[in-house]
């Protein structure tokens, strides 16, 4: 069965589950999109990698990467291989130089690791046929508004939402102050706030 390569298109607030997020994957050679509902922690782990932010202390997925690389273990690819009752199933193909192993993983964790190891993400035509839809998705820096989604991955309830900084509050702040605020937000591990500030810095740099 042929594999379909997927890219991470972005993360948005879920339109169907309060406090959750919609992770949107896109097929590389097509226009179908696969939305997956994930919890707050998983969304944070994916978003900070998409935004290019470096936490002051390693998060769980960063620790896994550091541990794996210390022992010469690489992640070759991630496969989303099954969709059952609205739940996506994934596995991770690892290699330690002597043998390859396949590990079962939650889809959100597998994608968070795929981004860190810069390895490809694949799925099957059957899954894209079942879950793929065409979204009115405005591509940007990773945190956008997407249409409602149906399929999801079971995840623990997300933590308390962090307060977002309105765009109008940032527009009157100097670039130097924005960079200082960004450093402060990252040091406090307030990644939603950091993403807002990073977006404003990127907007001015264009």
Pair 2, 125: CB distance under 8 Å: yes
Taking 50 as the threshold, does the pLDDT of residue 73 lie above it? Answer: yes
In this structure, which CATH number among 3.40.1190.20, 3.10.690.10, 1.20.140.10, 3.30.110.30 belongs to the domain 3-131? 3.10.690.10
Pair 26, 9: CB distance under 8 Å: yes
Chain segment 75-98, per-residue pLDDT in tens = 999 999 999 988 999 999 999 999
Mean pLDDT, range 115-131, rounded to an integer:
95
Pair 51, 10: CB distance under 8 Å: no
pLDDT value of position 148: 37
Return d(Cα 66, Cα 161) in angstroms, integer: 28
Lowest mean pLDDT among 51-55, 87-91, 157-161, 194-198: 157-161
Taking 70 as the threshold, does the pLDDT of residue 185 lie above it? Answer: yes
pLDDT tier, 200 (very low <50, low <70, confident <90, very high otherwise): confident
Chain segment 99-111, per-residue pLDDT in tens = 999 999 999 999 9
pLDDT value of position 135: 52
Q: How far is CA 161 from CA 19, 43, 108, in A?
A: 7, 12, 19
Return d(Cα 148, Cα 157) in angstroms, integer: 19
Pair 25, 149: CB distance under 8 Å: no
Lowest mean pLDDT among 42-46, 97-101, 129-133, 164-168: 164-168
Alpha-carbon torsion angle 71, 72, 77, 79, nearest 10: -30
Q: For the chain, give every domain's residue range.
A: 3-131, 167-205
100-105 and 21-27 beta bridge pairing: unpaired
Q: How far is CA 62 from CA 48, 66, 68, 147, 187, in A?
A: 11, 6, 10, 30, 16
pLDDT value of position 152: 44
């Amino acid at each position: 069965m042929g594999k379909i390569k997927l890219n991470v298109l972005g993360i948005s607030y879920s339109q169907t589950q309060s406090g959750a997020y919609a992770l949107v994957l896109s097929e590389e050679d097509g226009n179908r999109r696969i939305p997956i509902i994930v919890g707050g922690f998983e969304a944070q782990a994916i978003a900070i990698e998409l935004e290019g932010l470096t936490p002051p202390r390693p998060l769980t997925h960063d620790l896994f990467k550091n541990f794996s690389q210390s022992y010469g273990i690489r992640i070759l690819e991630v496969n989303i291989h099954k969709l059952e009752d609205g739940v996506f199933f994934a596995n991770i193909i690892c290699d330690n130089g002597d043998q390859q192993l396949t590990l079962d993983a939650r889809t959100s964790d597998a994608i968070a690791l795929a981004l860190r190891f810069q390895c490809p993400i694949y799925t099957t035509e059957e899954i894209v046929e079942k879950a793929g839809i065409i979204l009115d998705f405005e591509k940007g820096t990773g945190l956008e508004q997407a249409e409602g989604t149906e399929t999801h991955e079971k995840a623990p309830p997300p933590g308390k939402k962090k307060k977002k900084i309105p765009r109008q509050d940032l527009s009157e702040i100097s670039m130097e102050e924005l960079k200082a605020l960004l450093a402060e937000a990252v040091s406090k591990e307030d990644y939603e706030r950091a993403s807002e500030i990073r977006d404003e810095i990127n907007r001015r740099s264009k």
